[in-house]
A and B are shown apart, each in its own frame.
Chain A
Amino acid sequence: MKVGFIGLGVMGRPMALHLQRAGHEFFVWARRPESAAGLPATICATPAELGRQCEVVFTVITSSADVEGVALGENGLIAGMEEGSVLVDCSTIAPDVARRIAATLGERGIHMLDAPVSGGAQGAIDATLAIMAGGEAAVLDRVRPLLECLGKRIVHVGPNGAGQVAKACNQMIMVAAIQAAAEAMRLAAASGVDCGKVREALAGGSAASRVLDVMGERMVRRDFAAGIEARLHHKDFGLVLEAARQSGVPVPLAAVVGQQLNALMAQGWGRDDTASLLRVLELP
């Protein structure tokens, strides 16, 4: 199959490699051409040119505005993609923006799935991402073999935007859990107790979680080098709180966690790991 890929960052690059290795004819466009270096792919001059040649196009881009620009902007995918082709957007963006892009592409007969992922850079490298898809079931079935190159768990959540809603829910739970782990580690340390032992003790009980496992470990080792950069979680919390606002749903815990992330950003730790929420607690 002719597959296009846009967004060769920390997540995108290993995902692109999995798709390319699966034997597809591969096309890429990169804002900075050097980020496509070493990829066995045809380099395209614009998203439109890439779209013209591909049956399925993947995007993994940071912000809602950038996804919208690549999809609908000047020389965007919409100017090249043919009727019946599919855009699979694996970025984490606002659900309403995802719906808007899908509707605009739909007017031209171009299909779209919002398919944000969870699992981090390691999950992308290991091809064990959780993929939460929004869009038509039949379209998902068409691209499922491609998604199976990227992840183990592929769930059709609902219509367009539903994948992004699921991702927002994922981020709410995960970052709140990181904050909870940080507070526990902070309390243990302040009480003169070994954090590593506390984490180890908790890992066998009801408080066990993947976040406590992975992020708790980083906190114990005071290893704040980024797995996923905290600024991305900060960005995602902007989406979460805006979605809650649009629905008129109170999210008091997420609101407080959002403020801790603001403090983290103010300290200049945005490019460090979100385990740095522990360092925010140590500030006062």
Chain B
Amino acid sequence: MKIGFIGLGIMGRPMALNLIKGGHEVTVWARRAESMQPLLAAGARAAASPADAARGNELVISMVADAPDVAEVMRGVASGAEPGLVAVDMSTIAPGAARRIGEELAAAGVDFIDAPVSGGEVGAIAGTLSIMAGGSQAGFAKASPAFACMGKNIIHVGESGAGQVAKAANQIVTGMGVLAVAEALAFASKNGVDGAKVREALLGGFAYSRILENHGQRMLDRNFKPGFKSWMHEKDLNIVMQTAHELGLCLPGSAATAQMFNAMVGSGHGEEDSIAVLKLLEKLSGQAS
């Protein structure tokens, strides 16, 4: 398939590479021209603009930072679109913003799919991302061969915005999950009990989770290298809290968690992995770290 790919950061670069490996004809565009180099070396064609990345292609994918960036590149895509184009945004943005962009593109005759991912840089490189999509059945079907190159667990969740709703729900579970594991380990430590043994014991029971297994181990190793940076998790939890505010939805656990991440970013832990929330807990409880 002929695919345009916009946004070649930590996630976008390996995702675009996997499309090339999957035999697709890929055109790339990135704000900083030098980030296109590795893709051009792998056989991609360079586009001069988002509009140019859309021109002559059946599918366009964006992977950028935030909702205003998505809206901007998609306006460009719409101006270069030919009939039948499907535009897929794989960034994490607010569900409401995704719906609005979908409506704008529909007015320009472009079918828009929101398809945020979970699985991080590791998943992007391995092509094992979880992809949660919202939008039309036809658009999802058209994008599916591309999704298959980038991910493993690919779910069409529902209508436009539904993919972003699923991603926000994912961030609620992972945000609170990381905090829960950090609290459990801080609890063990302040009681003078070996956290490693506690983790091991819990892994066999109902408290088992991938976060307890993976993030828990990294907390014990005190390996705070990202992974998933705290400031990005904070940004995603802000999407959750803004949406809850707009809907009139009471989320006390997410609210408390969002404040912990807010404190992490404010105290200079934003570039560390989200497991650095353990350090914040230790500071608040007067535990030496």
Contacts and interface: CB of A to CB of B under 8 A. Distances in A.
A10 B264 CA distance: 40
A129 B257 CA distance: 36
Interface of A: 234, 237-238, 241, 244-245, 247-252, 255-256, 258-260, 262-266
A258 B245 CA distance: 8
13 contacts: A234-B245, A238-B242, A241-B241, A245-B238, A249-B266, A251-B262, A252-B259, A255-B259, A259-B255, A260-B250, A262-B249, A262-B251, A266-B249
Interface string B253-278: 00110111011011100000000000
Nearest to A235: B245
B248 A263 contact: yes
Nearest to B253: A259
Given A244-B262, A256-B255, A258-B255, 9 more contacts: A238-B245, A249-B262, A249-B263, A250-B262, A252-B259, A258-B241, A259-B244, A262-B244, A262-B251
B259 A248 contact: no
Contacts of A256: 252, 255-256
B256 A252 contact: yes
Interface in B222-242: 234, 238, 241-242
B250 A255 contact: no
Nearest to B231: A248
Nearest 5 Cβ contacts at the A-B interface: A248-B266, A265-B248, A250-B263, A266-B248, A263-B250
Nearest to A251: B259
A263 B258 CA distance: 18
Contacts of B245: 234, 237-238, 241, 258, 262
Contacts, number: 60
B250 A262 contact: yes
Nearest to A257: B255
Interface of B: 234, 238, 241-242, 244-245, 247-252, 255-256, 258-260, 262-263, 265-267
- Name which of B248, B252, B258, B260 has the most chain A CB atoms within 10 A of its CB: B248
A250 B248 contact: no
B250 A248 contact: no
Contacts of B249: 262, 266
A210 to B, nearest CB: 27
Given A241-B241, A245-B238, A248-B267, A259 B262 contact: no
A251 B262 CA distance: 9
Contacts of A263: 248, 250
A75 to B, nearest CB: 26
Nearest to B269: A248
A99 B194 CA distance: 52
B251 A250 contact: no
Contacts of B248: 262-266
A256 B262 CA distance: 14
Nearest to B270: A248
Contact of A266 (B242, B250, B262): B250
A163 B248 CA distance: 28
B179 to A, nearest CB: 12
Contacts of B251: 259, 262
Nearest to A231: B248
Contacts of A244: 259, 262
Given A238-B245, A250-B262, A259 B252 contact: yes
B181 to A, nearest CB: 20
B96 to A, nearest CB: 14
Contacts of A247: 266
Nearest to A245: B262
A258 B256 CA distance: 11
A255 B266 contact: no
B265 A255 contact: no
B266 to A, nearest CB: 2
A247 B258 CA distance: 14
A263 B248 CA distance: 6
Contacts of A266: 247-250
Nearest to B252: A259
Given A245-B238, A255-B255, A262-B244, A250 B266 contact: yes
A247 B259 CA distance: 12
Contacts of B266: 247-250
A250 B255 contact: no
Contact of A259 (B234, B238, B250, B265): B250
A237 B241 CA distance: 12
A196 B32 CA distance: 66
A245 B241 CA distance: 11
Nearest to B255: A255
B259 A250 contact: yes
